[in-house]
Chains A and B, each alone.
Chain A
Amino acid sequence: MKFLVCISNVPDTTTKITFTPDNKEFNKAGVQFVINPWDEYALTRAIELKEAAGSGTVTVLNVGEADTEPNIRKALAIGADDAIRVNAAPTDAYFVAEQIAAIAKEGAYDVILMGKESIDYNGFQVHGMVGEMLGIPTVAPAMKLDLSGNTATLEREIEGGKEIVTVNTPFVASCQQPMCEPRIPNMRGIMTARTKPLKVVPAVGEPARTQVQEYALPPKKQGVKLIDAENAGELIKLLRNEAKVI
């Protein structure tokens, strides 16, 4: 089975978000970038399934400029076999999906996995776009994934429950908890990752369909109004009469 796992490079989850003075771009200065947390589920599950089958390959794919390579190497250290970087700034979900679809088509991958969304752009879009571009099923968001021959059984989250879905390869799934326990690289993995192949290819396709005009931070909170614990019931009156939420 050939797995293609798409990873994005995102600001560390604890990052304080700021923008360039014209508010047109995220301010990267001093920010640590990590593999998107949702993508770690996709990566680990692909490696687990490959290991369980005793054969197959896991290729990681990132659309990004050279500064994403440390996280691509980290994915290799976790256990992917090789990597592809499409050398372009990821401008919007459509553009990224086009790159993934082109690579997926060329490499004839059986299973294409990615995270549910990236924690910076929060698009929740790429999975469906890739599935539609390739004309194959998408299961999003998936909480469980098992393979038996060419048939996959997935649990898909729905509001208030889950569905059991079976699809044949090739397919796309976007992953989320509790699919697996994401792995962290060990020393041996880090050493071998250095020699694993990382191919850099140019971008293809059309330009982005959406452009960010401006970023803004949410309005600042007024500050907390504290209520004495002895008099806790007072809170309920405030929620009814002042905040008007009950």
Chain B
Amino acid sequence: MSVLVVVECADGEVKKSSLEVASYGAQVAAQLGTTATAIAVGEANEANLAKLGEQGIAKVLYDAEPRLKDFVNNAYTKLIATAAEQEQAKVIVLANSNIGAAVGSRLSVRLKASLATNVVELPKTDGGQFVVKRGAFSGKAFSDVVLSGDRKIIAVKKNSTEAQHEAGKTAEVASFSAQLSDADFADAPKQVVMQDQAGGVLLPEAERVVSGGRGMKGPENWNLIEDLAKALGAATACSKPVSDVDWRPHHEHVGQTGITVSPNLYIACGISGAIQHLAGVNSSKVIVVINKDPEAPFFKAADYGIVGDVFDVLPKLTAAVKALN
């Protein structure tokens, strides 16, 4: 009996959301009186994997098969299922990412496990039940869900749990093979195209986000958003109409039909705060709204607000951040 944590890596680094998941898994293991093992997927660096000890992971399994560098659904499912059987894992924890969702749902059928996605807290395991809290209704509510059966899979929402960190502890890194065949790679991607990220910060993982709406008037004004984002080490985002008219690329569009983000700080500039936009950002810890209309609905969801013109306010904010640093 153990807890198996799926850790996603890219370019040798463990993704931030996977550090959160590792720490979550280690805490669940402690709750259940067992240890947490990780299975690393993607392109990993062994020294970084060993550092997962700092999040409380005892052992990391790693299959260095080069074709596993990019996500391959069938191969990843088999790899993780094999690790789960080897470790006799009763609980499997993944990130609520595109990989986590694609592979977690297949695994739940293969391993006959109950599955909860979008989970925001540690489970409650007292009284013989296993209950997780998850986001529902596009961030407008939460539900406590009872997971039945012998085996459970949990996909943890990004930035909803704090990654614990105990400096200096190391995990054992063990090589692992799921005996993958060519057939397991039949659905491998033919090409992977990375997009330019403003300031190099990935929006889905960002701790701070500066976002612009139609109030920014046109793509030529986005330097104001980018300057503030750069000063804050933030990612940039936008509302749906902005990406619909191609002022910004689709992958920056947040909301009900776009990306869901939950950063520590979300700064909305010239965005009205329609309910569909809020659905993608309302679990941000602190929301700042800049809008020249004092009646803009976004102010109701905000922690801090400035009633003013974005063209006047944004340069002042950027200057103030620069003055801090």
Q: Which residues of A contact B (CB under 8 A)?
A: 11, 13-14, 17, 19, 26, 37-38, 93-94, 97, 119-129, 131-133, 137-141, 143, 156-167, 176-178, 209-218, 221-222, 224-229, 232-240, 243, 245-246
Q: Which residues of B contact A (CB under 8 A)?
A: 15, 70-71, 73-74, 77, 96-99, 101-110, 113-118, 131, 134-149, 186-195, 197, 202, 204-205, 208, 232, 243, 250-251, 253, 256-258, 264-265, 275-276, 279, 282-283, 285-286, 288-289, 299-309, 312-313, 316-317, 319-321, 323-324
Q: B215 → chain A, closest Cβ, in Å?
A: 14
Which residues of A have CB within 8 Å of B191?
A: 163-164
Which of chain B's residues has its CB closest to A115's CB?
B257
Which residues of B have CB within 8 Å of A228?
A: 306
Q: Assess the A213–B144 pair: CB atoms within 8 A.
A: yes
Q: Assess the B115–A124 pair: CB atoms within 8 A.
A: no
Q: Assess the A213–B305 pair: CB atoms within 8 A.
A: no
Pairs A–B under 8 Å by Cβ, sample size 23: A94-B115, A119-B279, A122-B135, A128-B103, A129-B108, A137-B74, A159-B202, A159-B204, A160-B204, A163-B189, A178-B250, A217-B140, A218-B142, A227-B306, A229-B307, A233-B316, A233-B323, A234-B320, A236-B317, A236-B321, A239-B265, A243-B304, A246-B324
Q: B76 → chain A, closest Cβ, in Å?
A: 11
Q: Assess the A120–B137 pair: CB atoms within 8 A.
A: yes
Contact of B105 among A132, A137, A229 (CB under 8 A): A132
Q: Assess the A209–B148 pair: CB atoms within 8 A.
A: yes
Which residues of B have CB within 8 Å of A139?
A: 73, 187
Contact of A163 among B138, B192, B264, B316 (CB under 8 A): B192
Q: B192 → chain A, closest Cβ, in Å?
A: 5
Which residues of B have CB within 8 Å of A245?
A: 208, 264-265, 285-286
Contact of A229 among B103, B205, B302, B306 (CB under 8 A): B306
Which residues of B have CB within 8 Å of A123?
A: 117-118
Main secondary structure of the interface of A (DSSP, over half): mixed
Q: A228 → chain B, closest Cβ, in Å?
A: 8
Q: Assess the B189–A156 pair: CB atoms within 8 A.
A: yes
Which 6 pairs across A and B sit closest by C-beta, in order of nearness?
A: A128-B105, A229-B308, A233-B320, A163-B189, A132-B109, A209-B114
A38 to B256, CA, bound (A): 9
Q: A212 → chain B, closest Cβ, in Å?
A: 5
Q: Assess the B304–A224 pair: CB atoms within 8 A.
A: yes
Q: A225 → chain B, closest Cβ, in Å?
A: 5
Q: Assess the A119–B137 pair: CB atoms within 8 A.
A: yes
Which residues of A have CB within 8 Å of B264?
A: 245
Supposing A122-B137, A225-B305 touch, asked if A132 and B265 sit within 8 A by C-beta, the answer is no
Supposing A129-B109, A232-B313 touch, asked if A13 and B275 sit within 8 A by C-beta, the answer is yes
Supposing A17-B141, A209-B147, A246-B232 touch, asked if A225 and B105 sit within 8 A by C-beta, the answer is no
Q: A38 → chain B, closest Cβ, in Å?
A: 7
Which of chain A's residues has its CB closest to B284's CB?
A245
Q: Assess the B324–A177 pair: CB atoms within 8 A.
A: no
Q: B167 → chain A, closest Cβ, in Å?
A: 22
**Most chain B beta-carbon contacts within 10 A, residue among A128, A131, A216, A228:** A128
Which residues of A have CB within 8 Å of B99?
A: 158
Supposing A232-B306, A238-B304 touch, asked if A127 and B105 sit within 8 A by C-beta, the answer is yes
